[in-house]
């Protein structure tokens, strides 16, 4: 009987530990969600920057081809 009483005496301690772990896990979950959201934003921004850079390079190449064509016509 004493063993049961002793085990029951530990229940509030274990309950407190479980509640603390649950709070920690909730906190970690929220931080991970925030990080994933931030990573998605950064990825989208990087893709947009890469696309803009590619478009600029393509426009520069087109302009260069036009300049070269105009210069060769002038010869």
pLDDT in tens, 29-40: 999 999 999 999
Q: Where are the domains of the chain?
A: 30-75
What is the pLDDT tens value at each position of the chain, 75 positions in all? 889 989 889 999 999 999 999 999 999 999 999 999 999 999 999 999 999 999 999 999 999 998 888 877 766
What pLDDT is recorded for position 70? 81
Entry pTM? 0.64
The alpha-carbon radius of gyration of the chain (Å, integer) is 32
């Amino acid at each position: 009987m004493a063993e049961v009483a002793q085990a029951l005496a530990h229940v509030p301690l274990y309950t407190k530990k479980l509640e603390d772990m649950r709070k920690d896990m909730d906190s970690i979950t929220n931080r991970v969600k925030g990080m994933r959201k931030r990573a998605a934003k950064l990825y989208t921004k990087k893709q947009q920057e890469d696309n803009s850079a590619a478009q600029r390079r393509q426009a520069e190449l087109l302009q260069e081809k036009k300049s070269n064509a105009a210069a060769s016509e002038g010869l």
